[in-house]
């Protein structure tokens, strides 16, 4: 259980310091990041292939088209169109995803952005991975 223990003024921004049930002190920023990561974890656990995308991103469209061409069963979350999309994008950024879209998770694992996915495909390891996690039936 989290309890607010004191208010800390950090210049122009205010962070609430939160005491966790584990005895540690966490800022509201850290709590926010944990909630964002929980949302991403929940979304990637629902399907074997999850793509985080933006509706106006040409690389996102290319990656989505690649997977559609395989006949892959994917869940596409357009972060500019869904509730809490900006928070999800912040969580993806904290994972080291830069740019934050497109980002692909395969079987709950970070497959990477457009460059990594294309590289996996050129190495002929993308389709076997999709088959292994049952995102593709061929």
Q: What is the pLDDT of residues 3-51, one digit of tens each?
A: 333 343 333 333 333 344 444 445 767 777 777 788 888 999 999 999 9
* pLDDT for 40: 87
Task: Dump pLDDT digits (tens) for 52-106.
Answer: 999 999 999 999 999 999 999 899 999 999 988 998 998 888 888 888 899 999 9
Residue 116 pLDDT greater than 90, yes or no: yes
Measured distance CA(13)–CA(8) in Å, rounded: 9
* pLDDT for 11: 36
* pLDDT for 129: 96
pTM of the full structure: 0.75
Q: Do the beta carbons of residue 94 and residue 88 sit within 8 Å?
A: no
Detail the DSSP E strand segments found in the chain.
Answer: 3-10, 13-19, 25-27, 49-53, 75-78, 103-106, 109-112
Is domain 35-132 classified as CATH 3.90.870.30?
Answer: no
CA–chain centroid gap for 9, Å, is 31
């Amino acid at each position: 259980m989290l309890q607010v223990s004191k208010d800390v003024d950090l210049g122009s921004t205010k962070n609430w310091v939160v005491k966790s049930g584990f005895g540690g002190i966490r800022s509201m920023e850290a709590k926010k990041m944990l909630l964002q990561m929980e949302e991403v974890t929940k979304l990637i656990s629902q399907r074997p292939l999850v793509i985080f995308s933006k509706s106006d991103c040409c690389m996102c469209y290319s990656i989505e088209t690649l997977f559609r061409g395989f006949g892959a069963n994917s869940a596409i979350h357009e972060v500019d169109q869904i509730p809490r999309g900006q928070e999800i994008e912040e969580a993806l950024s904290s994972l080291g995803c830069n740019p934050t879209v497109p980002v692909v998770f395969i079987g709950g694992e970070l497959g990477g952005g457009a460059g990594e996915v294309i590289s996996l495909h050129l190495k002929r390891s993308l389709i076997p991975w999709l088959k292994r996690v049952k995102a593709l039936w061929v």
